[in-house]
Chain A
Amino acid sequence: MFLLTLIPLVWGYLLAARLLRESQRWLRWSLAYALGLLSFLAGVNALFHFLPLRPAVYLSLVLLVLGSALLLRLPGLRTPPSPLGRVEGPILALLALTAFFEALFWQMQWSDDDYFLHAPLMALALRDVFPTQNPFLPDLPLIGHYGRDLAIAALSVLFGEHFLAVQYFVTAANQAAAVLVVHGTARRFLRSPTQALWAVLFAFAGVNYGSRRGLIETFQNNNSFAFLFLFVSLYLLLTAFTRRSVTVTVLAGLAFGTFALIYETSYGLLAIAFAAFPFVLCALRRRWRLRYFTVTAGLLLLSVALALVQGGTLTELPRRYLAGEKADIAKSVDERRMTHEVRIRIPKPGFTITSPFTAEEYPLWSWRLEEDGGMFISVLPLTALLMLWLRKPWGILIGGLSVVAILIPAGIDFPGLNSESLRFVLVGGVGAAMLFGVASGMTWDVVRRRGPWTRWIVAVGLAGVAALSFWPSAKFGFRVIKNTAQYPRDHYLVGEEWGCSPVQPRRPCEPIDVSAAVALRSIVQKGDRVLADFRGDYVTSVMQAEATFMTFARAFLAGPGVRALRDGTHSQDSPSWEGEGFRARVFLETGEASVLDDLGVHYVYLNPEKLALDVYRRIQENPRLERVLHLETADGAAVREAYRLKLAQATPVWIPPQAFRVVSAEPPARLEARRAYQVPLVLSGQVEPSDGALRVSYDIRFPDDRLVTQNDEVRLPVSLHPAGPGRWIGTLWLATPWEAGEYNVRLYGWDGDTRLPLQRADGQPAVLRVRVDE
């Protein structure tokens, strides 16, 4: 089956050789790979709107075969391939090899940076979940790019659905292909192998930004796809400019439009840079060429038309804009961080960039910009002007892209998402590094014709700059390779062997959880939600454990909570959610099944050892919970169970709350965060509760009345017992918020489906003021 992957490769090769007529052999093969992958993604995405994933994959391959047959009718390339230089070739091979294997080995050990989000998304795509939904909060859609996850999931259909291994190799191949595409494009349009080599070296190994050392280390999450197809788009635009071919322009437009599905921010940056490019070019040449404008307009229009219908952010944004405010999905800015709904305000007040990790604002002339985007940003004005002065189209385009990438996060306000500024600044930093590389190459090109002394002095200077710039990247690469050779047992290609294997005291997940998830995969159906007990002290570790479980079970999670931020700052490090929301925690502390109905749970996954004995017994004896899985290790030391939640047979009788007043509700003297406590609820009322129960819910608010979390109101039956004449007592389980502080807990009673505030004896709403400690 995996041999079918040759189909996109052949299609891509024919595009590169017969349509684009690319004469550089290495560039032709890397374009074959990139265009094959992109075409496969475009086909699968288009068909996935109407078909399940597997038929969409096979039908896309059929279409690519038919397309290849058509391309075969075009005449072949007659010009001899232009070989790489004797020095240039080995250096490029070294860089591409290292880019490939560094990405491969790192992923074999760690899988991904944001594994917790991407792996479940790929798993859910294999369950035919489309459009994408947030795997942790399935009530919220996930608006945004999904091209990378879909491409890997679709490709994995040809590899036995081992999508993690496919991800490792595709990401590694993307890195190597990106090296060759950048070099080939620069070599073609700069007309200097030296400048091209310096440009690619500085982009991949010379720019140190944020926590990364060059593009060679920037392969995690969407990055390898985002940068590869950014470079392919640049190549296609420049080729469309030089080749007077409508077909090439159409190909460039469609490829660029598909890129919007992979990374809409880079797509937007490129679109602005592309739109400005013909104006700058014509102004410099003082000659207006209509062809430049028609090619650019055609390419942009085609790409925008595709981006508006294919799915992702650029499809959702105008749809919601046309539908007005009603189309807003998220109720708060906190939820918007989860759904990735984009809002735009121009201009951004203060014209500053939001720091990704602290959410602090800094001006464009701050050193922080250099920290986030690399040191070459400080010389970007000079290098960009140099490109303009020398009229180098490739340099002008890269310079324009970099400038736009730095100005956008300062000029446009994305409320709630400003801390994503790194997505822009990174592109600016890479572009600036490439321009610096070109400037270095130009210096060398000039001095190599001068006397030996000048040549030596410049060579030593350039070698010094290169050594300083490349050293951190080389050191990291060497460390990754050395670590792999030293600990080969810690490098996995089989996801099931990797999941939860290393003992990490923080991560509450074990290999038996992976086995249980794999066993549950055939039991749960598309769209089913599982409440899984992975309670732990560390949010990120809990999320990793939950993500691993969801990935192998290919199911949605039920029970996490969306966190509201107290101070309103939104850095990337601010936790967006918690592994257990209030309702999930109350269930795990009480075994009360009605909470599961509110959560929309289909299955509950438990480690019996973690539960209190009475809670475990209550779950076992509950007729609504049917055990569907019992798994234990050979020595019986670890046990896991899963229960299916059956529909309630009878509708419970609820006592109307209007007849009761809250006399007291006294939580324990000391409340700790992330726990659940019994609160005796004393009510007064003249109505006899008989055998019914009062349905009570509560929400928890900050002192300024903002909700601590959205959509997680705990609703519980409270059985009332007499506590004197006209007095009744029951127990309410109170889940405490995630962090210490003062909170108000508002109590409500339910009359059917109507929520009514519970009132005190004086008629005021019943509100508990609680203090929570760490």
Chain B
Amino acid sequence: MRHTVRLLLVVTLLALPLSSQAADSSPVELTVLTAPKEVPGFSSFYVRLRLVNTGSRPLRGCLIELSRLVSTEPCVFLGYRFWKPPTRFKVDSVDPLPFLQHSDILGPGERLERSVRLVSPRQGRTGTLHLYAVSGRPDALTWVHQPVPITVGPAPFEVRRREIVTLALVGVYVLGVAWALLRLALALSRAWRRPCSS
């Protein structure tokens, strides 16, 4: 039994690097050209990126549906995640970015520079924005990581106003429901106490 467990552990450890291929075998190169150092909370901002196809095969944008890769041929997509890098390298570990469409083809040696839009988290904090270029065959993706230091400040006035208005509406609903439930409880308790009439 112990032997089997050990064997399973070894197999698992060997399989882990396979699922998150090392960056040096990646057919793409990702460079952050410009990125803001500080952005307001829950707001749009742009990062300018360069993607180079260093491999020998053309790559096109991946088709992702419901956090699953549906492309059948080698493709590339960009993803991001704030603060903590993903512990498991899966398609749904990052939020994909609209950098390369499926109809776009990045030939061998070609480069593409584009600005992509991201939305900052709601809570202010200083940390790292993790950018990834994910490429290859759907069954063997390789991940290239680019960390970007960033500070997220407080949310702008429109966001706070929106939150206050929405929460106020939720409050009205909750109060209304509480009032109705109270009335219902009172009515039912009265009906319960009332002697049965024939």
Residues on A close to B: CB < 8 A?
85-87, 89-91, 93-94, 97-98, 101, 104-105, 108, 452, 481, 484-485, 488-489, 491-494, 497, 501-503, 505-508, 510-511, 535-537, 609, 633, 635, 637-638, 672, 674-675
Contacts and interface: CB of A to CB of B under 8 A. Distances in A.
A481 B165 contact: no
Nearest to B155: A489
Closest 4 CB pairs of A and B: A637-B46, A86-B187, A488-B166, A90-B184
Given A501-B44, A505-B96, A674-B103, A635 B36 contact: yes
Interface in B163-198: 163-167, 169-170, 172-173, 176-177, 179-181, 183-184, 186-188, 190-191, 196
B98 A97 contact: no
A503 B173 contact: no
A379 B170 CA distance: 38
Nearest to B61: A537
Contacts of B46: 633, 635, 637-638
B50 to A, nearest CB: 13
Given A87-B191, A94-B181, A537 B117 contact: no
A672 B103 contact: yes
Interface string B103-123: 100000000001101110010
Contacts of A491: 162, 166
B103 A105 contact: no
Contacts of A502: 119
A505 B98 contact: yes
Contacts of B148: none
Contacts of B115: 609, 637-638
A94 B177 contact: yes
A515 to B, nearest CB: 11
In this complex, which of B36, B46, B155 has the most chain A Cβ atoms within 10 angstroms of its Cβ? B46
Contacts of B170: 101, 105, 481, 484-485, 488
Contacts of B173: 97-98, 101, 481
Given A86-B190, A537-B103, A108 B166 contact: yes
In this complex, which of B48, B159, B166, B169 has the most chain A Cβ atoms within 10 angstroms of its Cβ? B166
B42 interface: yes
Given A86-B187, A93-B180, A510-B44, A505 B169 contact: no
B192 to A, nearest CB: 11
Contacts of A101: 169-170, 172-173
Contacts of B196: 452
Contacts of B34: 635, 637
Contacts of B179: 93
B162 A493 contact: yes
Interface in B45-99: 46-48, 61, 63-64, 95-98
Interface size class of B (residues with CB under 8 A): 35 or more
Nearest to A486: B170
Given A101-B169, A484-B169, A494-B158, 17 more contacts: A86-B187, A87-B184, A90-B187, A91-B180, A93-B183, A94-B181, A101-B173, A488-B162, A488-B163, A489-B159, A489-B162, A489-B166, A491-B166, A505-B96, A535-B101, A637-B46, A637-B48
Contacts of B163: 488-489
Interface in B26-47: 34, 36, 42, 44, 46-47
Contacts of A452: 196
A507 B98 CA distance: 8
A505 B77 CA distance: 10
Contacts, number: 118
B90 to A, nearest CB: 16
A537 B162 contact: no
29 contacts: A86-B186, A87-B191, A90-B181, A93-B183, A94-B177, A98-B173, A98-B177, A101-B173, A481-B173, A484-B170, A485-B167, A488-B164, A489-B166, A491-B162, A494-B158, A497-B162, A501-B44, A502-B119, A503-B44, A503-B95, A503-B119, A505-B95, A506-B98, A507-B98, A537-B63, A609-B114, A635-B34, A637-B47, A674-B103
Nearest to B102: A537
B177 A97 contact: yes
Nearest to A506: B98
Nearest to A493: B165
In this complex, which of A97, A488, A492, A506 has the most chain B Cβ atoms within 10 angstroms of its Cβ? A488
A256 to B, nearest CB: 33
Nearest to B47: A637
A675 B163 CA distance: 43
B184 A511 contact: no
Nearest to B36: A635
A494 B96 CA distance: 27
Interface in B132-176: 155, 158-159, 162-167, 169-170, 172-173, 176
A457 to B, nearest CB: 16
Contacts of B122: 489
B97 A90 contact: no
Contacts of A485: 167, 170
Contact of B98 (A94, A508, A635): A508
A548 to B, nearest CB: 15
A609 B104 CA distance: 13
Contacts of A511: 44
Nearest to A104: B169
B117 A503 contact: yes
A508 B101 CA distance: 10
In this complex, which of A104, A505, A633 has the most chain B Cβ atoms within 10 angstroms of its Cβ? A505
A365 B42 CA distance: 52
A105 B169 CA distance: 9
B97 A505 contact: yes
Nearest to B122: A489
A675 B173 CA distance: 51
Contacts of A508: 98
A117 to B, nearest CB: 24
A94 B166 contact: no
A452 B64 CA distance: 60
A510 B117 contact: yes
Contacts of B61: 537
Given A481-B170, A635-B46, A505 B64 contact: yes
A249 to B, nearest CB: 37
Nearest to B163: A488
A508 B98 CA distance: 8
B122 to A, nearest CB: 6
A510 B97 CA distance: 12
A675 B105 CA distance: 12
A104 B118 CA distance: 28
Contacts of A481: 170, 173
Contacts of B103: 535, 537, 672, 674-675
A727 to B, nearest CB: 32
B44 A87 contact: no
A485 B169 CA distance: 9
In this complex, which of B42, B114, B117 has the most chain A Cβ atoms within 10 angstroms of its Cβ? B117
B82 to A, nearest CB: 12
A743 to B, nearest CB: 18
B170 to A, nearest CB: 5
Contact of A489 (B42, B114, B191): B42
Nearest to B197: A449
Contacts of A675: 103
Nearest to B105: A672
Contacts of B97: 503, 505
Contact of A90 (B64, B98, B167, B183): B183
Contacts of B117: 503, 510, 638
Contacts of A484: 166, 169-170
A99 to B, nearest CB: 11
In this complex, which of A104, A491, A536 has the most chain B Cβ atoms within 10 angstroms of its Cβ? A491
B121 to A, nearest CB: 10
A489 B48 CA distance: 26
A508 B102 CA distance: 13
A98 to B, nearest CB: 8
B123 to A, nearest CB: 11
A126 to B, nearest CB: 24
